[in-house]
Structures are given as structure tokens and as C-alpha cells.
């Protein structure tokens, strides 16, 4: 009897930048490949600036078989690269740049067939080109933002003023126009290093062998059609765009408070509840949180508001310390008006 040869599992590597909003979807995608498609995954973890939530996520008991978390050594004296007025995306990109100095040796050790990165890890393109490893990108935000970001280098060449000062909406090819004041914070001040880092990273997106998005065609039909069919994006040329959403956390622990909220939600009419959440790193000031709460109350709509303790220091104050405080998040489900609650949120 001939014993069949053992089939080697396809091996791919993942590389997210710090920040749970980037790590979580790549982590879920990697687990999906391991559990449902028989892949082996090496998941490179940037440990510089790691939050408590990140450390909790990569505990060995949270990882499936054939999923290997590979820690990238922390950068020594990373604070020496920062200034007091440096914004979070600049800090993030410097952390990645310095951390990826270890990437060539790790890739040569692990030898994956491909590397999947997020938006702020594009230094990997040059590294992997030398090692003949194809690189795929994962765009963690909406596809309308992705389309705008791919259009940004053209705007940068053609527009001399600040984008927020433009008199007309910004028309990304094939997409819904965007009011200048509604554009991403990172591109509102072109003199800031944060803008320069963002522009550098999005200008490298076409170098990818393909781009994955956490979306699906029925959710964002207009922007996805533009990315696939509009002549502007065809001329870049843009690599294939793959919709793989919705990717959601499968192993979320449901608390007693969560049960209460879900039970309340089940009793509401379909399509009647607003869900308001600013992500793992989003922080409001006390004044902003109060204004938001009263605005929701005045809307006369049922809503669920997910928030954290306000910070008057920075809108990104929690970005690098998510999960460091058990009381960091609270979730309020308003069934009646704030006035009836005597104090509200």
C-alpha cells in the first residue's frame, strides 16, 4: 500500500499596524483562513506601543491551531522619535517604520507564500520585493474612503490650497461627492507630517497584488463599482479588489450588561435604532459627549451609544492604551429621553 504524502498547508503571513481597529479585522481574517480553509498563518505583532487589549488578544489560549503569533521586538527608546505635538498617525507610522527593520529576518525565517498588510505597513512592499514575496493589502475602513485615498495623490498634484477651503464638494471619480469639511482629519492640514505619512502610504496601495476590504457589494455598491470599473482607477492601474465582509469578532464575551442591551434591542421595531460608536481609539471631550447625547435625544430616535470616559486632551487619547482600564468603556441604551433620566449620560 502506498502511503499518501502529507499535503503541506498553504502558509501566509499577516502584518497589521498597532491599534485595535486595524488588528482585529486582520486577526479575524487570519482565523477564518486557518479554521475554514486549512491555512497556516504567521501573524506578525508589532509590540511597540502595544495596548492591554492587544496583549489580551494574543494570549495563547485565544489562538487556534496553525495560528502562530510572531512578536516583532519592541523599538528601544521609541519616545525619542516623538514630539509633544505629534499626532497619532505620525506616531503610528514611526512605530511601524522602526519595527519593520526586523521584518526581513523574520520573513526569511518563516518563509510565507504571501504577506497581507494594512494601510500603514507599506514599507513592507520594498522589503518583500527583494525577497520575492507577493504583498496584499487590507483596507480596514470604508470603500468610499479607499476610493478617496486612491484619488488623493491626484488631488495633491492638482490642488494648491487646503482641501477644506475648496468651494465645491470633492468629486472622487465615480463616487458620491464629499463636502470638504467632512474629509478625513489626516488630510485637513497638508503642512502637518500626519498628512505626508498618510499620502505616502495610500500612494503605495497600487503596488499590492490585491486589496481586501471588509465590505460586500450590497453595502457599498457605488464605490465598489467605481473601484472596479471607473476609468480613473483602471488607469492607475488598481489591483483586484476583493470583498470579504462582514468580518466580525466571533468570540466576543457577552456580559450581563450586554444581555440587557440585546434583550432591549430585540424588542424594538426593525430599522428603528441608531448605533453610535467611535471605534476602539476614538475619544470625545466632555463637551462633545454632552452635545452628542443631547443631539441624539433631540432626534427622538431610539439609540445605542457606545462610549468611553471623555478626554479633553486629545481625540486619540485612548489609541495606544485600549483595555488598560476595566471601566474604559461603558454602553448606555436609552429607552426614554435624557430629561427623564435626570442627568443623562
CB–CB of 143/238 below 8 Å?
Answer: no
93, 118 Cβ separation under 8 angstroms = no
| Whether the Cβ atoms of residue 53 and residue 79 lie closer than 8 Å to each other | no
Tens of pLDDT along 225-260?
A: 999 999 999 999 999 999 998 887 776 677 788 888
Q: How confident is the model at residue 50 (pLDDT cuts 50, 70, 90)?
A: confident
- In this predicted model, which residue has the larger pLDDT, 263 or 316? 263
Cis preceding-peptide flag for 199 (omega within 30 of 0): no
- In tens, the pLDDT along 88-124 reads 899 999 999 999 999 999 999 999 999 999 999 999 9
* Residues ≥6 apart with Cβ < 8 Å to 157: none
pLDDT for position 344: 37
pTM of the model: 0.84
36 touches 66 (CB < 8 A):
no
Write down the domain spans for the chain.
11-146+151-160+174-243, 256-341
Q: Which of 22, 66, 156, 266 is catalytic?
A: 22
User: Do the domains 256-341 and 11-146+151-160+174-243 match in fold?
Assistant: yes
Fold topology of 256-341: Rossmann fold (3.40.50)
pLDDT band at 224 (very low <50, low <70, confident <90, very high): very high
Residue 217 pLDDT level (bands cut at 50, 70, 90): very high
- Cell 476583493, located at residue: 242
118 among known catalytic residues: yes
Give tens-digit pLDDT for 14-44.
Answer: 999 988 888 999 999 999 999 999 999 999 9
The DSSP output letter for 170 is B
Instruction: Return d(Cα 158, Cα 325) in angstroms, integer.
Output: 46
Class of the CATH domain delimited by 11-146+151-160+174-243: alpha beta
Catalytic residue among 11, 36, 40, 118: 118
Is there a catalytic annotation at residue 22?
Answer: yes
Amino acid at each position: 500500500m502506498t502511503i499518501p504524502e502529507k499535503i503541506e498547508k498553504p502558509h501566509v503571513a499577516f502584518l497589521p499596524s498597532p491599534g485595535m481597529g486595524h488588528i482585529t479585522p486582520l486577526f479575524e481574517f487570519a482565523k477564518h483562513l486557518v479554521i475554514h480553509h486549512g491555512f497556516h498563518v504567521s501573524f506578525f505583532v508589532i509590540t511597540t506601543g502595544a495596548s492591554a487589549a492587544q496583549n489580551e488578544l494574543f494570549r495563547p489560549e485565544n489562538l487556534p491551531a496553525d495560528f502562530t503569533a510572531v512578536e516583532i521586538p519592541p523599538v528601544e527608546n521609541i519616545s525619542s522619535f516623538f514630539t509633544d505635538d505629534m499626532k497619532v498617525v505620525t506616531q503610528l507610522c514611526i512605530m511601524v517604520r522602526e519595527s519593520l527593520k526586523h521584518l526581513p529576518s523574520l520573513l526569511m525565517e518563516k518563509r510565507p507564500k504571501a504577506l497581507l498588510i494594512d494601510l500603514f505597513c507599506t514599507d513592507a512592499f520594498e522589503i518583500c520585493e527583494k525577497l520575492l514575496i507577493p504583498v496584499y493589502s487590507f483596507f480596514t475602513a470604508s470603500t468610499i474612503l479607499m476610493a478617496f485615498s486612491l484619488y488623493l495623490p491626484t488631488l495633491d498634484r492638482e490642488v494648491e490650497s487646503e482641501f477644506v477651503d475648496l468651494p465645491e464638494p470633492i468629486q472622487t471619480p465615480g463616487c458620491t461627492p464629499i463636502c470638504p469639511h467632512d474629509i478625513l482629519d489626516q488630510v485637513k492640514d497638508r503642512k502637518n507630517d500626519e498628512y505626508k505619512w498618510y499620502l505616502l502610504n495610500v500612494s503605495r496601495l497600487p503596488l499590492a497584488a490585491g486589496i481586501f476590504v471588509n465590505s460586500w457589494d450590497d453595502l457599498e455598491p457605488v464605490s465598489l463599482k467605481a473601484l472596479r470599473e471607473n476609468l480613473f482607477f483602471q488607469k492607475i492601474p488598481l489591483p483586484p479588489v476583493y470583498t470579504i465582509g462582514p468580518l466580525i469578532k466571533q468570540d466576543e464575551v457577552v456580559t450581563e450588561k450586554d444581555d440587557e442591551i440585546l434583550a432591549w434591542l430585540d424588542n424594538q421595531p426593525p430599522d428603528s435604532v441608531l448605533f453610535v460608536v467611535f471605534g476602539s481609539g476614538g475619544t470625545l471631550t466632555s463637551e462633545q459627549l454632552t452635545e452628542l447625547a443631547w443631539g441624539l435625544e433631540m432626534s427622538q430616535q431610539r439609540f445605542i451609544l457606545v462610549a468611553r470616559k471623555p478626554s479633553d486632551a486629545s481625540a486619540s487619547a485612548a489609541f495606544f492604551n485600549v483595555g488598560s482600564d476595566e471601566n474604559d468603556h461603558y454602553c448606555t441604551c436609552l429607552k426614554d429621553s435624557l430629561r427623564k433620566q435626570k442627568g443623562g449620560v
